[in-house]
Structure 1
Amino acid sequence: MSTNILTGNKSPAILLGAAAAGFVVGLAANFGRKAVVQGMTAAQGEWDEGLKAEHRLTLRLFDAIEKTDASQTWKRGMLLTQLKHALAKHAYEEENVVYPAMRDHGQVEDADQLVHDHGYVKQYLYDLGEMPTADPEWIAKVREFRREIEAHIAQEEDALFPRLRAALGKEGNAHVTAEMNKAGFAAA
C-alpha cells in the first residue's frame, strides 16, 4: 500500500482504484437486481404470460395494502412505493412493446385506450402519494384504483392480448417476448 509517511495520506492511485472497484460492485449489484426483477416475468415464457404474472403481482400488492389499517402508515407507504415500481415497469413494457405491436396489427383504438388508462393509473398513484395514508379516504381511493386496474387487466387478458397473440404468429410472438423482456430489464 502506498502511503505518504509524513502525512499518512493514501496515494491518489489507491483511492482511484478503490473508487473504481466500488463502481464495478455497484454496477454488478444493479445488474443482479434487474435480473431478479425481470426474471419472474421472463420465466413465464411468452410475453402475455409474463404480463399476466405481473398482473397477479399487482393484485397481491393491492391485497397487502388492503390488509393494513390506518395505524400502519409506514407499511402503507412502503407498499405504495412497491406498487408504483411494479406498475411503472409494467407500463414501460406495454407502452414500448406490446401496445405498438397492437397498433401494427390493427388494434389502434384498443392500444390508444390502454395508454389512456395508464394515464389514470399515474393519476391514482399521484393522488395516493399526496394523501396521508392514515386518512380513511386513502384506503377508499386504493379500492377504487383496484377496481379500475381489475377492469383494465380483464380487458387485456380476456380480449386484447389473445387477439394480438393470434395476429402475431409464432415468430411475431417470439419477437415481442424478446423485446418485452429487454424493455422490462431496462425498466427494472
Structure 2
Amino acid sequence: MVTTLDDTKRMMIGTKLADIKALQELVIANEQRFISEINDQDIRHRFQEMLKDDQKNMGVLETVIVQYGIKSEPKQTIRQFVDKLQELMGGSELSIFEKVFQHELLKHQLVMSGVVVHKAAQKVGADVELAITPLNTVNFENRAHQEQLKGVLEVLGVRELTGQEADQGLWARVQDAVAALSGVAGSVITQNSDKSDLNIQDVIRLDHNKTNTLFTEILGSNDPQKIQEYFGQLYKDLSVHAEAEERVVYPAVRPFYGQNDTQELYDEQAEMKRKLEEIKALSPASSEFKDKVRQLMEAVGDHIRQEESTMFAAIRNNLSSDQSEQLATQFKAAKSQLQDQMSASKK
C-alpha cells in the first residue's frame, strides 16, 4: 500500500524554509525599528522602501512554504539566534551603525540560505525545484538590499567615527549595483511590481504545474521507492488543493461562473479523490499502478484545462486585483490549515 511519506532530504528543505521565514520576520522587525530610530530622511526612506519589499517577500515566502507542502519548524539554534538579535536590536549596547551592520549580515544569511535551498531542490526532485522557484525573487531582492545597506553603513560609519558626512557619490555606486542586479532579475515576481502577493490564478497555476511535474516523475521512474515517494507527495498535494478549492474558491466563483459549471468542478474533484484512493491501495511495483496513474493524469488534465481557461477568465472579468489577491490569501490559509491537519493525523 502506498503511504504518504517525506524523505529526509525533503524534510530538511522544509526546515530550512522555516528558518528563512523566521529570519525574514526578524528583518521586517529590524526595519520597522530603524524607521522609528533613524532621523536621516534619506536613510529612513531607504528603509521604508526595503520594508515594503520585505513585506511583499514574506507573502512570496509563505506561498513557497504552502506550495512546497511539507511543514516544519525553525531549528532551535535559529530560534535562539533570532531571540538574541532581537534583544541586541532593542537594547542600547550597539550603536545604530552596529545595528545596521548586524542587519546587513542577516541579509547575507538570508541570501545564502535561499541559494542553498534552490541548489538543494535541484538535486532532490523537479517537483521540489518547481515548488520553491518563487523563492528566487526573495533571493534577488535581498541581494539588492545588501548593496543598499553598504551605502547606509558608509554614511553611518563615517558619521560615527568623524562626525562628518561621507562622500555622497556612494549612492550613485549603490544605485548602479542595484540596477545591475535588477537587470539579472528582471522577470522575477516582485520586481517593478506593487503587488503584495500573487493572485488566485497565480497560486492555483503553481499547484497545477507542480502536479504535472509529479505525474511526469512517477511515470518516468522505474524505482518503486521513488514512485512511492512521488505519489505520496501527489496524493497530499491533490487532496489539499481540492479541499481548499472547495472551501474557498468554488463558493466565491459560483455566483458569476454559474451553478452548472461550478458543480462540474466539484464532481470532477470527487472522481479524482476516488481515483487517488484506488491508486493508494495498489503496490507501486504492480503493472496496474502506472495505468491507473495515467487515467488519473488524464482526468486531472481535463480539470486543469477547464479551470485555467473558463474559470480563470470568469475571475479576471468579475474580480478586482485586490479581490483576486485576497482570495489567494484565503486559499493559501486553507491549504496551510489542511496540511497541518494531515500532518497531525499521521502522528
Class of the TM-score when normalised by the shorter of the 2 chains? 0.7 to 0.9
The equivalent residue for 2:18 is 32
How far is 1:85 from its partner? 0.9
- 1:51 is aligned to 2:215: no
The 1:132–1:108 alpha-carbon spacing in structure 2 relative to 1, beyond 3 Å, is same
Judge conservation of contact 1:68–1:76 (CA < 8 Å) in 2: yes
The 1:147–1:106 alpha-carbon spacing in structure 2 relative to 1, beyond 3 Å, is closer
How far is 1:73 from its partner? 1.9
Judge conservation of contact 1:128–1:142 (CA < 8 Å) in 2: yes
The equivalent residue for 2:267 is 116
- 1:125 is aligned to 2:273: no
Output the amino acid matched with 1:119. Answer: A
User: Equivalents in 2 of 1:170, 1:52: separation in Å?
Assistant: 16
How far is 1:139 from its partner? 0.7
The equivalent residue for 1:176 is 327
The equivalent residue for 1:10 is none
User: Equivalents in 1 of 2:215, 2:317: separation in Å?
Assistant: 31
The equivalent residue for 1:161 is 312
The equivalent residue for 1:145 is 296
Judge conservation of contact 2:257–2:311 (CA < 8 Å) in 1: no
User: Equivalents in 1 of 2:236, 2:200: separation in Å?
Assistant: 19
How far is 1:106 from its partner? 4.5
Deviations 1:1-27 (A, max 9, x none): xxxxxxxxxxxxxxxxxxxxxxxxxxx
How far is 1:32 from its partner? 3.3
- Structure 1 segments, 4+ long, off by >6 Å, are none
- Tell me the TM-score normalized by structure 1: 0.74
- 1:134 is aligned to 2:120: no
| Stretches of structure 2 lacking an aligned partner (at least 5 in a row) | 1-14, 22-61, 69-130, 135-196, 340-347
The equivalent residue for 1:66 is 219
How far is 1:39 from its partner? 5.7
Output the amino acid matched with 2:326. Answer: H
User: Equivalents in 2 of 1:103, 1:163: separation in Å?
Assistant: 10
Percent of aligned pairs sharing the same letter? 25
The equivalent residue for 1:105 is 256
- Tell me the TM-score normalized by structure 2: 0.42
The equivalent residue for 1:80 is 231
Higher relative contact order (CA 8 A, sep 6+): 1
Deviations 1:46-71 (A, max 9, x none): 111110011000000000000112xx
Judge conservation of contact 1:65–1:76 (CA < 8 Å) in 2: yes
User: Equivalents in 2 of 1:135, 1:73: separation in Å?
Assistant: 9
Between Structure 1 and Structure 2, whose CA radius of gyration is higher? 2
| Stretches of structure 1 lacking an aligned partner (at least 5 in a row) | 1-28
User: Equivalents in 1 of 2:299, 2:67: separation in Å?
Assistant: 27
C-alpha RMSD of the superposition = 2.5
